């Protein structure tokens, strides 16, 4: 059968029919809200390249947790900006580090109602801005693993529910799993930034987190944009090392990688709708060139349709009222 007896428009006639047959829908509970916490400030500081986004002092992080829950978002992802950076990234695994303190505050206030995810990386804590220990201009893989393990353990001690390693060191998931298990944290899942591409889309984040490398770039550890097969290998290795959840990042320019991950693996997949993707939408919206709500809904639906079970979008803070089809 074909036209005129077949008419696909029959199921699109009214809003009720459209929503009845909608296959992919965004739930606020599938979103993770990223928060920047700055140890050195006493009131929120706007991030110039991310309109509407702020760095918050530690004593205001609970307000952001509340905001997330009001949106129906159950989870936050914490990034810390320490007062001091050094060559060992010691702020990342300090007992009273910025993420550790913010986590304690969130857990004291919200308990199990809010899932706190800790970003496990060193770049925000290193004076040189790279994600690992540097010797003679090189980022040392194996020496860095120990510090990533320590960071994950100290975040777990502070109460994080999930650790999310983003440093792109080989073997980091195994090192973190072993470090957590040794300290009795065998219940803490690992959300691995498995397929993390070296990307220009991280620019605004690096302004927000003050983590731009002082020399060189991250191309020797983050992935090259043209490689889909390598993403499958990265993901497979991370799953074998014990990753509970895997991530593809950035999401929008890498939707095919999310689709490949979905087709090949049976673990929850996260798509990170990164800072540059947020800033592009904001800039165009501020110029009146696009309708922000329509575009954000479409972007999130696209990331989910590609295969992401969860999404990390900077729009998580204001998305709930938008998630109605237009």
Task: Compute the Cα dihedral for 12, 16, 19, 20 and give only its sign.
Answer: negative
Single out the residue of 36, 53, 185, 202 in contact with ligand PBG (rule: CB under 6 A): 202
The residues carrying an active-site annotation are 196, 249
Single out the residue of 92, 260, 270, 274 in contact with ligand PBG (rule: CB under 6 A): 274
72: closest CA among 325, 326, 318, 324? 318
Q: Which range in 99-107, 115-123, 181-189, 240-248 contacts ligand PBG by CB under 6 A?
A: 115-123
**Toward ligand PBG, which CB reaches closer, 211 or 297?**
211
Sequence-distant (6+) residues with CB within 8 A of 89 are: 122, 125, 126, 133, 147, 151
Secondary structure (3-state) at 56: strand
| Contact track, ligand PBG, 153-192, x by CB under 6 A | -------------x--------------------------
Single out the residue of 37, 121, 145, 153 in contact with ligand PBG (rule: CB under 6 A): 121
325 C-beta neighbours (distance < 10 Å), count: 11
Alpha helical stretches, state H, 25-140: 61-70, 98-110
119 contacts ligand PBG (rule: CB under 6 A): yes
**Toward ligand PBG, which CB reaches closer, 213 or 242?**
213
Q: Minimum distance between the CB of residue 79 and ligand PBG, rounded to whole angstroms?
A: 7
**Toward ligand PBG, which CB reaches closer, 205 or 265?**
205
Single out the residue of 205, 221, 254, 265 in contact with ligand PBG (rule: CB under 6 A): 205
Q: Which range in 5-13, 23-31, 118-126, 259-267 contacts ligand PBG by CB under 6 A?
A: 118-126
194 Cα distance to chain centroid: 12
**Toward ligand PBG, which CB reaches closer, 30 or 211?**
211
Task: Compute the Cα dihedral for 158, 159, 163, 164 and give only its sign.
Answer: negative
Distance CA 30, CA 155 (A): 23
**Toward ligand PBG, which CB reaches closer, 110 or 222?**
222
Distance CA 292, CA 231 (A): 31
| Contact track, ligand PBG, 67-106, x by CB under 6 A | ----------------------------------------
Distance CA 252, CA 274 (A): 8
HSE at residue 319, side-chain half, CA atoms within 13 A, is: 29
# residues contacting ligand PBG (CB under 6 A): 12
Alpha helical stretches, state H, the chain: 15-20, 61-70, 98-110, 141-158, 172-182, 203-209, 228-241, 255-264, 275-286, 292-306
Q: Minimum distance between the CB of residue 247 and ligand PBG, rounded to whole angstroms?
A: 10
Q: Minimum distance between the CB of residue 104 and ligand PBG, rounded to whole angstroms?
A: 22
Distance CA 167, CA 40 (A): 24
Q: Which range in 20-28, 35-43, 97-105, 204-212 contacts ligand PBG by CB under 6 A?
A: 204-212
Residues that bind ligand PBG (CB under 6 A): 119, 121, 123, 131, 166, 202, 205-206, 211, 218, 274-275
């Amino acid at each position: 059968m074909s036209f005129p007896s077949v008419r696909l428009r029959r199921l699109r006639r009214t809003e009720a029919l459209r929503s009845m047959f909608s296959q992919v829908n965004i739930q606020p509970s599938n979103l993770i809200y990223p928060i920047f916490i700055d140890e050195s400030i006493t009131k929120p500081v706007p991030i110039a390249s991310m309109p509407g986004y702020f760095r918050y002092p530690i004593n205001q992080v609970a307000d952001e947790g509340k905001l997330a829950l009001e949106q129906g978002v159950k989870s936050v992802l914490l990034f810390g900006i320490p007062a001091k950076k050094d060559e060992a990234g010691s702020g990342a695994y300090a007992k009273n580090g910025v993420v550790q303190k913010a986590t304690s505050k969130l857990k004291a206030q919200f308990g199990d109602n809010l899932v706190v995810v800790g970003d496990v990386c060193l770049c925000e804590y290193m004076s040189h801005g790279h994600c690992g220990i540097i010797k003679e201009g090189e980022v040392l893989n194996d020496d860095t693993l120990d510090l990533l393990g320590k960071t994950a353990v100290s975040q777990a001690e502070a109460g994080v529910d999930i650790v999310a390693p983003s440093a792109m060191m080989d073997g980091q998931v195994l090192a973190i799993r072993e470090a957590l298990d040794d300290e009795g944290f065998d219940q803490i899942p690992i959300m691995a930034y498995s397929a993390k591409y070296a990307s220009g889309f991280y620019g605004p984040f690096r302004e927000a987190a003050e983590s731009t490398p002082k020399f060189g770039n991250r191309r020797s550890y983050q992935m090259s944009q043209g490689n889909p097969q390598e993403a499958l290998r990265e993901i497979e290795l991370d799953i074998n090392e014990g990753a509970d959840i895997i991530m593809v990042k950035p999401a929008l320019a890498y939707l095919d990688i999310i689709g490949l991950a979905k087709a090949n693996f049976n673990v929850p997949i996260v798509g990170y709708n990164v800072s540059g993707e947020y800033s592009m939408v904001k800039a165009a919206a501020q110029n009146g060139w696009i309708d922000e709500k329509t575009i954000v809904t479409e972007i999130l639906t696209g990331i989910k349709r590609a295969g992401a079970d969860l999404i990390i979008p900077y729009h998580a803070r204001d998305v709930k009222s938008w998630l109605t089809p237009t």
